[in-house]
Amino acid sequence: MSYLELRDISKVYGEGAAEVRALQRVDLSVDAGSLVAVMGASGSGKSTLLTIAGSLEDPTSGEVYVGGRALSSLSRNGKAQLRRQSIGYVFQDYNLLAGLSAVENVSLPLELDGVAARKAQSAAMESLDDFGLKERASHYPDQLSGGERQRVAIARAVVGGRQLLLADEPSGALDSTNAEAVMRLILVACHRGMAAVVVTHDAQLASWADRVIFLRDGRIVDQTLPVDSPEAMLTKLPNQ
Amino acid sequence: MSVRHALLALLSEGPKYGLQLRQEFEARTGEVWPLNVGQVYTTLQRLERDGLVESEDAADEGPQKGFHITEHGEVELTKWLRTPPDFSSPPRDELVIKVLVAFELPGVDVHDLVQVHRRYLVELMQQWTRLKEDESRFDLHFALVVDAELFRLDSLIRWLDTVDGRLKRAAAGVSVPAPQSFPLPKARRKVGAPE
C-alpha cells in the first residue's frame, strides 16, 4: 500500500522566456516500509520533488496523495497539521535550532502540535535513546559533532509515530562512516514501517534504497530493478 | 591479486598446513575470493622452488604437510607489502572505451548510454550494500572488501556523472577544450615514469 503517491506532477517556475520546467509529468509511489532514493544531478528537479511530496510547495499540475489524502483537498492549516503529524524532514544542514538542546529540538514538533510538554519530552527522549543519543540529550547543537547533529535531526523527523520521512542529501557534509550511520538510521525507520524518500547525487547513499529513481531535467528517466536478498547476492560472488 | 604473497604473509605468522592456509586466506579476504586447494599446493611448490618457504617434513606429502617461511621469504614479503601496485598508466577500462567510442557514433544518445551503465552500477552497489545491512555477519575483513568494491563502483558512477555534465555544458555552448587542443605527447607516457 503506497503511503506517498505523486501522480502526473509538473512544476513550472517563471513565465515566457524565463520559464523553467522543474518537474515534468512525474509519477512516483512509495510504500510504507520502503526506502526510495531519487538520484540526479544539480538542477534535475530532485529537491523540488521532495518539497512537493512534503507539501511545502504546490505542484503546477498533478496530485500528491499522502496516506491516501489528496493534498489539494487540504486547507493551508490542514497541510500544516499533516506536516506536523505525519511527515518528518531531514536536510543536509540538519536545521536544528541552536538555542534548544537536543531533546528540546526533538520534542518541539510534538509540542507545536499540542502534545503536553512532559509527554513530548519523554517521547523525544525515547527517540534519542533509539538512536544512541540519550547521553547527548541535554547538549546544544554546537556541542555535538556533525554526525550526532544529523542523528538528532533524524530522531526529530521520526518522533511521534510519523509515517513519511523525506531527506535531502542527508549525509551532505559527513564523512563516509557517519554517512553510513545516517543511512542505517533511515533504514531502521523504514523497517518500523515509515515510507522514506531520500534525494541525493551520491550513489553510495542511494544504494541503501530498495529502489533508485533517476531524474534528469525534471523527468524520471529510469529506475533500478528490485534488489536480491543478501543470500542470493552471496551465491553470485565470483568463483575461481 | 597475489595469492603467492598472501600465502607468504600467512606463513610469516608461523608454520601452517596447506588446508589451513586455504581456510585462513578465505577468511582474511572476506570469503569473496575462494581458493581451491590445488592452487594452494601449486603455489607452495613454487614458493619452495624459489627458496621463499620450506616444507616442515619431507616425508609427509599429504594434506598435513607443514610449511614455514624462510629468511629470504620474509624479505620478499616486506618488499611486496611496501611496493605500490602499478597504477601509473590508465587501465584499458571497457566502460571508458565504450563511452569514448559512443561520442563519435551517429544516432547514439550518449546520455541514454551513460544511464544504462549508471543504472547497472547502482544496482550492483545496492547488492553490495544489502550485504552490509546485517552487521552481525559482517566481519572486519568482509567489510573492507565490500567498502573497496563500493568505492570502485562509485568512482565509475561519478565519472559517468561528469560525462553527462561535460556533454551538457558542451551542448549549451560553454567552451570545453577539445582533446586535440592539448595533445600532450608526454602524457601518453606513463605518469611518474622516469625521464
The reply to whether B185 falls in a domain is no
User: Rounded to 5, what percent of chain B is helix, strand, coil?
Assistant: 65, 5, 35
Are B14 and B54 in a shared domain? yes
Which CATH number belongs to the domain containing residue A197 in this structure?
3.40.50.300
Distance from CA of B115 to the nearest CA of A (A): 8
pLDDT band for position B194 (50/70/90)?
A: very low
- Domain of residue A218: give its range: 31-58+76-227
The pLDDT score that the predictor gives to residue B104 is 81
The reply to whether A71 falls in a domain is no
pLDDT tens per residue across span A177-203: 889 989 999 999 999 999 999 999 999
Across the interface, of B133, B151, B164, the residue whose CB is closest to A41 is B164
Could you tell me which residue, B136 or B124, shows the higher pLDDT? Answer: B124
- Kindly state the cell numbers that stand for A190: 523504514
Distance from CA of B183 to the nearest CA of A (A): 30
pLDDT band for position B142 (50/70/90)?
A: confident
Chain A environment of B121 (Cβ under 8 Å): 203
- Domain of residue B15: give its range: 3-82
- Kindly state the cell numbers that stand for A46: 530532485
pLDDT tens per residue across span A30-46: 999 999 999 999 889 99
Hey, are the CB atoms on A230 and B134 less than 8 Å from each other? yes
The reply to whether A22 falls in a domain is no
The reply to whether A163 falls in a domain is yes
Hey, are the CB atoms on B130 and A236 less than 8 Å from each other? no
Mean pLDDT for chain A?
Answer: 91
The reply to whether B58 falls in a domain is yes
Distance from CA of B2 to the nearest CA of A (A): 14
B38: three-class secondary structure by DSSP: helix
Average pLDDT of the segment spanning A161-174: 91
Task: Give the number of domains in chain B.
Answer: 2
The reply to whether B19 falls in a domain is yes
pLDDT tens per residue across span B38-54: 899 999 999 999 999 99
Contact A233, B131 (CB under 8 A): yes
Chain A environment of B35 (Cβ under 8 Å): 240
Chain A environment of B166 (Cβ under 8 Å): none
* Residue B144 in this model has a pLDDT that exceeds 70: yes
pLDDT band for position A26 (50/70/90)?
A: very high
Chains A, B: CB contacts within 8 A come to 73
State the complex-level ipTM.
0.88
* Residue A238 in this model has a pLDDT that exceeds 90: no
Within 22-41 of A, beta carbons closer than 8 Å to B belong to 39, 41
pTM for the whole structure: 0.84
pLDDT tens per residue across span A140-152: 999 999 999 999 9
The pLDDT score that the predictor gives to residue A162 is 93
Which CATH number belongs to the domain containing residue B10 in this structure?
1.10.10.10
Hey, are the CB atoms on A237 and B32 less than 8 Å from each other? yes
Q: Which chain B residue shows the shortest CA-CA distance from A42? A: B165
Average pLDDT of the segment spanning B161-166: 93
CA A86/CA B176 separation, integer angstroms: 47
Going by C-alpha positions, the residue among A41, A49, A40 that lies closest to residue A21 is A49
Are B7 and B58 in a shared domain? yes
* Residue A79 in this model has a pLDDT that exceeds 70: yes
The pLDDT score that the predictor gives to residue A232 is 65
The reply to whether B72 falls in a domain is yes
A132 in B contact zone (CB under 8 Å): no
Q: What is the DSSP string of chain A?
A: -EEEEEEEEEEEES-GGG-EEEEEEEEEEEETT-EEEEE--TTSSHHHHHHHHTTSS--SEEEEEETTEEGGGS-HHHHHHHHHHHEEEE-TT----TTS-HHHHHHHHHHHTT--HHHHHHHHHHHHHHTT-GGGTT--GGGS-HHHHHHHHHHHHHTTT--EEEEESTTTTS-HHHHHHHHHHHHHHHHTT-EEEEEES-HHHHTTSSEEEEEETTEEEEEPPPPPPHHHHHHTS---
The pLDDT score that the predictor gives to residue A131 is 86
pLDDT band for position B178 (50/70/90)?
A: low
Across the interface, of B36, B127, B165, the residue whose CB is closest to A227 is B127
Are B10 and B44 in a shared domain? yes
The pLDDT score that the predictor gives to residue A202 is 94
Task: Give the number of domains in chain A.
Answer: 1
The reply to whether A15 falls in a domain is no
Across the interface, of A207, A214, A216, the residue whose CB is closest to B126 is A207
Are B56 and B20 in a shared domain? yes
The pLDDT score that the predictor gives to residue B103 is 86
Are B42 and B101 in a shared domain? no
